[in-house]
Amino acid sequence: MIIRQIKPEETYQLRHEVLWPDQPITYVILAEDVTGLHFGAFRDTDLLAVISLFVQEGSARFRKFATRPDCQRQGIGSRLLRYVIEEARRLGAQTLWCDARLSAAAFYQRFGMKPEGAVFYKCAIPYSKYVMELK
């Protein structure tokens, strides 16, 4: 598996299929995609997972982290997230955060991320903000 930077539009199909298949594809396109860094995990030419990173003033946020269902629980998402954590550090971020579905809470906690604030909902799916200090 290799991880490399990709164009924002290369993330859209996988974001849509994994995260919001019941919404129009425009739902997964972010206005800030043009300012972010986007990464894909590949096996040969097959895109297995995507994540987008936005860094601003010492804080980094990742969004639209999606792994193909047939590739989940194989360490692919973990490797991709580790890569993005290192990239955020390299870019000078002191903190890293995301809005995560509560169903993924245990995954983020394994990386040392901690919930912050109250649970909120997007289209009836419960989310929480998870934060990590980058040292």
Going by the DSSP 8-state scheme, the letter that residue 74 receives in this structure is S
Q: What single letter denotes the amino acid at residue 83?
A: Y
Q: What is the pLDDT of residue 67?
A: 97
**Does 45 reside within a domain?**
yes
Q: What is the pLDDT of residue 37?
A: 98
Q: What single letter denotes the amino acid at residue 7?
A: K
**Does 107 reside within a domain?**
no
Q: What is the pLDDT of residue 3?
A: 98
Question: Which three-class secondary structure state does DSSP give residue 28?
Answer: helix
Count of domains in the chain? 1
Residue 33 maps to which CATH number?
3.40.630.30
Predicted structure pTM score? 0.91
**Does 135 reside within a domain?**
no
Structural domain span for residue 41: 2-97
Q: What is the pLDDT of residues 32-80, one digit of tens each?
A: 999 999 999 999 999 999 999 999 999 999 999 999 999 999 999 999 9
